[in-house]
Amino acid sequence: MNDAAMALLIKCKQEAQAGVDYSPRDGAICPWCGCKAKIYRTMPWVGGVRVRYHRCHESGCAMHALNITIKSVQEDPTI
């Protein structure tokens, strides 16, 4: 893996861990491959924010290959 790919991988991993935006229509998008990541855990609403945990199931995706959990954050716009 070259330096650019490594830097991108680290960036995507950090995004996945920090939390990507959750869209009610599109769900959470895998920061590596851009596919919709499947939910495996949904947390309750806490203070207008709901956290979900996802995994990307695309074969060939680095997030999938490395078994990296993608966190998503949904905010209630009415709060």
Interface with Zn ion by CB under 5 A: which residues? 30, 32-33, 56, 58, 61, 63
Between 41 and 48, CB nearer to Zn ion: 41
- Measured distance CA(19)–CA(70) in Å, rounded: 7
Shortest gap between Cβ of 60 and Zn ion (angstroms)? Answer: 8
Name the minimum Å distance from CB 41 to Zn ion.
Answer: 17
In the complex with Zn ion, the residue whose CB is nearer, 15 or 49, is 15
Contact 79, 71 (CB under 8 A): no
Shortest CA distance to 64 belongs to which of 13, 18, 21? 13
